[in-house]
Structure 1
Amino acid sequence: MKGDISHRLLKEAEKIEVEEATLKEKIWMELKKTFVVAAPATFTRFSTFGVAVISQAFIGHIGPVELAAYSLCFTCLLRFGNGVLLGMASALETLCGQAFGAKQYHMLGIYLQRSWIVLFMSACCLLPLYIFTNPLFIALGQDEKIAQACGYISHWFIFIVFSFIISFTCQMFLQAQSKNMIIAYLAAFSIGIHIFLSWLLTMKLEFGLAGALFSTVLAYWLPNVGQILFGFSMLAFKDLCPIVKLSISSGVMLCLELWYNTILVLLTGNLKNAEVAIDALAICLNINGWEMMISLGFLAAASVRVSNELGRGNAKGAKFSIIMTTLTSLCIGFVLFLVFLCLRGRLAYIFTTSEEVAEAVADLSPLLASSILVNSVQPVLSGVAVGAGWQRVVAWVNIASYYLVGIPIGVVLGYVWNMHVKGVWIGMLLGTLLQTIVLVVITWRTDWDKQVILARTRLNKWFVPESREDNQNVAA
């Protein structure tokens, strides 16, 4: 009896100690939890994005037409497919994060397998875009030589699109459990191989564009070899329709964001001196993309932390995680804003030897730095939306901010006021800023206690009892 009383008193003391932790201790604990997810996620995204940028750097030394074609295909086609599949996969981020927080561990593997089915069907629907790229780009007013080269490159990109099915879903699956170091190791190995093969095939053996694209495809598929070892269960086919609905909402939300830059490049392709404009803009977007990998790491952290806390029923923990993740990402973004504002066009020579392109990059640098600052906050708020399951609401916010405000202003500034690329980019930046402000207001005014109830309702609705297949081992 005395032992039981002592044990209860000890537990009560521990509970009081946690509740009375100082703000400094709470911040430190939250930062540790955040960086456990954000650091590997950022590194993985750096490596994955680096594969495309390394390819661009080697292709840039093959010829200006090849560089423009690759830039157009990467920004428009690959990001289009990336947007669809990453968006569809983000439904898994919501479900796995909340299930892990609620300790429904055996459901993680089932959600993963359901997501594979949904993404495979989506990838098949995207195939016509990559098969008929040449006539499509000509119809959109792109230069005929560039469009013809795009038609060749896009056929290689089909293999990359299907690699996203395994890559994205396994990332979401492991991030929800804060176990994404294995993906970081695989990504590091892949980019190392890619650098060597790109040099060997393009510079040493002179296979040109085909050599660079072969190395790119291989680099995207290599990490999947380690990830594809996860098992499969027929329970994945049960209650598939609700997963499809949430996946579609997720896909629309993220696609509307990722396609925004695609439209920017397409609009640039119709301006005068399109080759220089596309090259300069593509270089700026790639530099911006590097910074975005940091923000996307914090997007993953925000999604995991919010979904885990909602699954646990901890509304205060979810709010505190949002504040800490947003402020941390903003501080990093502000430092990078100052760095790129000072560097201006010097980084352009990594991708090109053309002084004309480098001067165009220098002229766009203030807009690049501003985009980096805004993008340090916006993806984190999107991560909060994914963690809470707000994909449908954010999709409508994206439509209004990007497509009813940003793009029309960009067209007017770029074409009517003859500000060219700068005008188009200013309009797009204003749309992103508006979207960020709206998401801040939505997040600030949210009743997080109600979100806990909604998360519990969702998990109970799609819950499948443990079977003899021991799905819990999948999560382990």
Structure 2
Amino acid sequence: METPLIIKSFNSESDYLAVKSLKDVKYVLWNETVKIWKIALPVALSLLFQNLNNSSTSIYAGHLGDIELSSFSVYQSVINSIYFSMLYGMSNALATLCGQAYGAGQFRNAGIYLQRSWIVLLTTCILLLPIQLYATPILKFFGQEKEITDLAGKYAILVIPYMFSYAINLPLMKFLQAQSKVNVIMYISVVTLLIQNGLLYIFINVFDFGIIGLAMASNISGWIFSVALVIYAIGWCKEGWNGLSLKAFKELWEFTKLSLGSSVMICLEQWYSACIMLLAGHLDNPVIAVGSFSICLNIQGWNLMLLLGVSSAVSVRVSNTLGMSHPRAAKYSFLVTMFQSLLLGIIFMTVIFLSKQEFPMIFTKSEDMIHAASELAYLLGITMILNSVAQTISGVVIGCGWQVMVGYINLACYYIVGLPIGIFLGFNQHLGVKGLWGGTMCGSVLQILVLAVIIYKTNWTKEVEQTADRMRTWSTNK
């Protein structure tokens, strides 16, 4: 019986031969499924638990009142989206470098990359402080209602410590994911979720702190999560962590440019949702429009956490295999992950269609809000299919280091095509939130088609060569 594997240049794994039979297909499918989900499931669960922190806060805000829910939703969708998307996108540079470095066996470089990322992201947080401090006038400038913007601006100032926690934990998660040390992130996320919900209950139900209690719980849980990851990285990651080093301050400008380039892709994609939220604030009855859309975004966020786990897994898998000079493994990993992501999307879409009258009740008791959110269920279900494809492609993009190129594609698809269509449907055709969301979907479909063509035409052997060049360029031993 011929084995489908052939030993390549890296001693811990081997690349695939070309698939020529059903037996080979089954072997690749099973082998890649195990490798992907060994990373994807813990990452997905950890991200889900982290997202549930925000959802828990949103649920408590919704039970404080419609104004509190809409204010928190505007903050999350606009102000938080601005800085989180930038910080998360910048940390993706670390995902590419660390993943490929570990694949190539250059373990010592990863700790230096992590420290550089901390420096760059903490500096970015300082530069982004005015957005938090002046959230109210910023939101008023975009035409949001005074009652909503005043409360959202107050919350933005209160959660400034939470913003800085991202600068520590986002690079750490990429650092650990590149080493496939993902279970610890999941365990810490569970503990943090339990702590946050306990704090929310005490601050809201016992002490009646209102929106101040929401902020206090977020700040405390955010820094508990960050400090726990730091302790683990320093104490148990001896292979990649060799202590603080002055080398972290070398080539900072080059690393900053790489990080900013990586953030372009994520920012343009995520800020589009912020644009939709702002536009929803100009519709008739903005409290209901913003609130119902935010409920769907929260449900979508739960689904997205699983997909981001898959995206992170395929990113680690592709970057590792390229670093190991295994082009077929990178290609087959993408194909297997895409197939399984589509199945997940179909399952989630079906669940949403069957529970369209029930899921809004998790967030609100308002009959008007429940009815408005249930009417968006079909768009939510279809979006889950599109997200399944898009997140898998994003994982490949990060693994290969194509973020800057995809940034330009996102700019064209979302802002030149999707946004005008959404405005036309939402306002000119009087379709409201449905129209705005429909424009988003048009942009997503176009983005997926363009990136699918690019991946189809990719020369994976050439990608291996470019990875080797990247590792030589960013070596810390120069």
What secondary structure does 2:476 align onto?
coil
Extract unaligned runs of 5+ from structure 1: 1-13, 467-476
The equivalent residue for 2:37 is: 35
Alignment of 1:204 onto 2:206: yes
**Which residue in the other structure is 1:182 paired with?**
184
- 1:240 aligned residue: 252
CA distance in 1, matches of 2:121, 2:62: 32
Q: Is the 8 A contact 2:15 2:329 kept in 1?
A: no
Pair 146,244 (structure 1): closer, same or farther in 2 beyond 3 Å: same
Q: Say if 2:449 is the partner of 1:437.
A: yes
How far apart are the structure 2 equivalents of 1:16 and 1:78?
43
What is the SS of the residue equivalent to 1:443?
helix
- Residue by residue, what CA displacement relative to the aligned partner does 1:413-446 show, whole Å, maximum 9, x if unpaired? 1111111111111011110111111111111111
Distance 1:41 1:394 in 2: 24
Taking the TM superposition and a 5 Å limit, the aligned residue runs for 1:15-414 are 22-229=24-231, 230=234, 231-414=243-426
Distance 1:199 1:314 in 2: 50
Kept in 1: contact 2:73–2:294 (CA 8 A)? yes
The answer to whether the 8 Å contact 2:325/2:464 transfers is yes
**Aligned-pair CA distance for 1:465:** 2.7
Alignment correspondent of 2:433: 421
Paired amino acid for 2:340: T
User: How big is each residue's C-alpha offset from its partner over 1:169-221, in whole Å with a ceiling of 9 and x where there is no partner?
Assistant: 01100111111111111110000111111112111222221112211221222
Give the C-alpha shift of residue 16 in structure 1. 11
1:345 CA displacement: 3.0
Output the amino acid matched with 1:127. L
Contact 1:239 1:462 in 2 (8 A): no
Comparing 14-23 with 449-458, greater Cα deviation is found at 14-23
Deviation (angstroms), 1:375: 0.4
Q: Deviations over 1:221-250 (max 9, x none)?
A: 211112223332111112223221211111
CA distance in 2, matches of 1:450, 1:34: 23
SS at match of 2:284: coil
Q: Which residue of 1 aligns with 2:463?
A: 451
Residues 1:64 and 1:447: Cα distance change in structure 2 (over 3 Å): same
Q: Which moved more, 1:21-30 or 1:201-210?
A: 21-30
Which is further off, 115-124 or 450-459?
Answer: 115-124
Q: CA deviation at 1:70?
A: 0.4
CA distance in 1, matches of 2:96, 2:375: 40
Query: What per-residue deviation string (whole Å, max 9, x for no partner) do you get for residues 341-392 of structure 1?
Result: 1111311111101000100011111000011110011011011111101011
- 229-238 vs 51-60, which deviates more? 229-238
Task: Say which SS state the counterpart of residue 399 (structure 1) adopts.
Answer: helix
Q: What one-letter code is carried by the residue in structure 1 that aligns with 2:449?
A: I
The answer to whether the 8 A contact 1:298-1:325 is kept is yes
Segment drifting more, 85-94 vs 72-81: 72-81
Q: Would the aligned equivalents of 1:48 and 1:220 in 2 still touch at CA under 8 Å?
A: no
Q: Deviations over 1:97-130 (max 9, x none)?
A: 0000000011010111111111111111111111
Q: Distance in 2 between matches of 1:17 and 1:88?
A: 31
Question: For residues 29 and 382 of structure 2, what CA distance do their matches in structure 1 show?
Answer: 28
Tell me how far apart the structure 1 counterparts of residues 346 and 221 of structure 2 sit (CA, whole Å): 32
1: CA distance, partners of 2:311 / 2:159: 26
| Structure-1 separation of matches of 2:170 and 2:13 | 38
Paired AA for residue 100 in structure 2 = Q
After TM superposition, the score normalised by the length of structure 1 is: 0.93
CA contact (8 A) 2:276 2:436 kept: yes
Cα offset, 1:15, TM superposition = 10
Letter of the 1:407 partner, please give it. L
Post-superposition CA distance 1:60-114 (Å, at most 9, x none): 1112111110010011111211100000000000000000000001101011111
Q: Alignment partner of 1:464: what SS?
A: coil
State the 4+ residue runs in structure 1 displaced beyond 3 angstroms: 14-22
Unaligned runs of 5+ in 2: 1-11, 235-242
Q: Is the 8 A contact 1:295 1:377 kept in 2?
A: no
Q: How many angstroms does 1:17 deviate by?
A: 12
What secondary structure does 1:228 align onto?
Answer: helix
- TM-score normalised by length of structure 2: 0.92
Give the AA of the match of 1:207: F
Tell me which amino acid in the other structure corresponds to 1:146. Answer: I
> Contact between 1:301 and 1:325, CA under 8 Å: does it hold in 2?
no
CA distance 1:17–1:455, change in 2 (3 Å): closer
